[in-house]
Each structure stands twice: as C-alpha cells, then as structure tokens.
Amino acid sequence: MFKKMPKKLVAPSILSADFANLEKEIKAVSEAGADWIHVDVMDGHFVPNITIGVPVVKSLKKVSPIPLDVHLMIDEPEKYIEQFVKAGSDYLTIHVEATKNPEAVLKQIRSLGAKAGITLRPGTAVSEVLSFLPLCDLVLVMTVEPGFGGQSFMHDQIVKIATLRAEIKKQNLQCLIEVDGGINAETAKLCHEADVFVAGSFVFGKDYKKAIAELKEG
C-alpha cells in the first residue's frame, strides 16, 4: 500500500481578484474548490503598497463560506490585532520583522480566539522564526518580496520549507506550512513539503477550478 499524501490546501489571494466584485469572486473560488481566502493587508510603510483594512475584512467575512487567512504586511501589528480578529480573521499572520515582540503578538492572536501565523521576508533567515513555532498554527514562507502580486517565484526560498518541516517534526508541532508568491502549477510542485498554497495571479488569471485543481495535485 502507498501512503496517502496529505491533502494540500489552496488559498487564493484576492489581491488579484476583481475588487469591484469581491463577493462574486469569493463565492466563485469557493465553489471552484478553494479552502481559504487569502487577504493581503498592506500599510504603505512595512511594504510600499496600500491595499485593504479592517472594514473590508469585516465585509468579506459576511459573505465568505470559507475561512479568511489574513496576511498582515503592516508595521506594529499589535495595534490592530484585536480589530482584525473581531472583523473575522480566522488565521492572522504577522511578519517577524514588523514588531519588537512577536511572542506577545502571537499570544494575543490566540487569546482572542484566532489562529496565529508568523512569516518572514525573503531576506530574513529562517532561524529568526524557529523559536516562535510553538506559538503558531501557521508559518508562511514568502517566495517573493512582499508588496505586490504577479512577481516571479524566488527559488532560493525553497530550502526554508525543508528547515521548517524538520523543526516542526522535531518539536512535534501541529503548525501548517504555507507558501506565498509566484505560486503556479510548476512552482507548487517545487514546494511539495508545504501544506497550503497561496496563489493570486495564477488562480484569478484563468479557469478557477482548473487552477485550484492543478495546485492541489502538487
């Protein structure tokens, strides 16, 4: 008997969706097999782009049949955690570079009842997040520089996935590994040790059902 491969989750990033029709887009990707909706929050400080904030997350929560996976690319996330959890974030991920005290912020997310995630820029060493893994439900490996959709996948980040997988095993943790940036059918295969694939332009740029199915094959 072959050991059954664990199922991969797909989280389409609405950054590449039609912003004038988010309800329609969310329902369409949900029906096409998406597991979570990935929501990219940018503040124009931590990254050189501004996207959406708390009121939009609150509105998305009302119409989304699947969990919201909120990726905070903002400085001092501690100032906004309570608002983002109350708005309906199921997973809330912070950047290790964005706060002086990641431990406290992760504990705060969990204490408010959401799942906590940590992530890092491509230039940050993976060793910077290892000590926080026991406080996390999710660890996100950025495979592009955060800030924009549609960039090319950075192959030199793949090694971080293996390091995290080994550490999660060693510490016997339940933490999921997610990858984000330049993910398509080919690059997802290179990240086969990950559990969750975020994809913006790949999913919203074509037949949603076909794109999601291709990622799940990975």
Which residues lie near ligand DX5 (CB under 6 A)? Answer: 13, 15-16, 38, 40, 71, 144, 146-147, 149-151, 180-183, 198-202
Q: What strands lie across the sheet with 138-142, from one edge to the other?
A: 9-12, 196-199, 176-180, 138-142, 115-120, 91-95, 68-73, 37-42
199 binds, among Zn ion, ligand DX5, none (CB under 5 to 8 A by kind): ligand DX5
Query: What is the footprint of Zn ion within residues 56-75 (CB under 5 A)?
Result: 71
The least CB distance from residue 15 to Zn ion, in Å, is: 7
Q: Check if the beta carbon of residue 95 is closer than 8 Å to that of residue 120.
A: yes
The conformational region for residue 47 under phi > 0 = left, psi -120 to 50 = alpha, else beta, is beta
CA neighbor of 19 nearest in space, from 3, 43, 49, 39 = 39
180 tagged catalytic: yes
151 binds, among Zn ion, ligand DX5, none (CB under 5 to 8 A by kind): ligand DX5
16 binds, among Zn ion, ligand DX5, none (CB under 5 to 8 A by kind): ligand DX5
How many chain residues interact with Zn ion (CB under 5 A)?
A: 3
75 tagged catalytic: no
Distances, alpha carbon 162 to alpha carbons 21, 78, 197, in Å:
38, 29, 15
Choosing from 17, 22, 39, 40, the residue that interacts with Zn ion (CB under 5 A) is 40
Active-site residues, by number, are 40, 180
